[in-house]
Amino acid sequence: MGAAEGQRDRIGAKYGMWFFLFTEILFFGGMFILYAVYRSKYPAEFHASAGEENLLLGSINTAVLLTSSLFMAVAISAVKKGSYRLSVVFQAATILMGLAFLAIKAVEWYEKVARGIYPNSPVLDKMKMGEILFFGLYYVMTGIHGVHVFIGVCVISFMVYFTLTGNVTQENYSKIENTGLYWHFVDIVWIYLFPLFYLIT
C-alpha cells in the first residue's frame, strides 16, 4: 500500500459490508421462518394460492435479476482492471435490469390488486386463513425485497457518478465492491423467494 492510498483498509471495508449482510440474513430469515411455520400449518391453502401467482412473470423476473448480478460482477471486474467506461456501461445495465424487475413486480401487484387481493381487502378477508396468510406474506416479503432492489438501484446510481468523477478507481474500489456484495445478496434472497411463492406444488 503506497502513501498515495492514505489509510485505506480494503479488507476492513469489505468485512464491514459482510457483517451488515449477516444482519440482513437474519432479518430475512425471520420472515422465512414465519413462511415455513404457516406453510406447515396450511399446506393445501398455500399450494392453492401459489397456483394463482403469475409463473411467467416470476420466472422472467428471476432471469432479469440473475442477469443483473452478472452485469454487476462484470462492472466491478472492469473497475479493478481500469476499464472505467466499460464499467459505467455495465453499471447502467445493472440499474436498467433493477428497474425492469421493479416494473414487472409492479405489474404483478397491480394484477392482484385489480382482483381485489391486497392486505385487508374485503375479498381477501373472506378467504380461508391459509390464503390470507399466504398473500400477506407475499406482499410483505416481495415488498421488503423490492425496497432492497430500489435501494440497490439508488446506490448503483451513485457508483456511476463516482466512477465518472474518478472517486471510484482501480486503486479505490471498496465502494463499488461493497455495492456489488449488497446487490448479489438481494439476488440470493429472490433466488429463495421465487420457489417459495411461485413453484410450491
Pull the grid cell for residue 11. 479488507
Decide if residue 80 touches other proteins (CB under 8 A). Answer: yes
Distance CA 52, CA 63 (A): 20
Alpha carbon separation from 22 to 13, 29, 142, 194 (Å, rounded): 15, 10, 20, 21
Minimum CB distance to other proteins smaller for 124 or for 153: 153
One of 42, 49, 62, 146 touching other proteins (CB under 8 A): 62
Decide if residue 93 touches other proteins (CB under 8 A). Answer: no
Distance CA 200, CA 61 (A): 17
State in angstroms the smallest separation of the CB of 161 from other proteins. Answer: 23
Nearest to 180 by CA among 110, 87, 105: 87
Q: Give the binding range for other proteins (CB under 8 A) out of 36-44, 101-109, 116-124, 161-169.
A: 36-44
Distance CA 131, CA 84 (A): 49
> Site for other proteins (CB under 8 A): how many residues?
43
One of 103, 147, 154, 199 touching other proteins (CB under 8 A): 199
Minimum CB distance to other proteins smaller for 14 or for 158: 14
Note the helical H segments in 42-128. 43-50, 55-81, 84-114, 122-125
Binding site for other proteins (CB under 8 A): 10-11, 14-15, 18, 22, 25-26, 29, 33, 36-37, 40-41, 55, 59, 62-63, 66-67, 69-70, 72-74, 76-77, 80-81, 180-181, 184-185, 187-188, 191-192, 194-195, 198-201
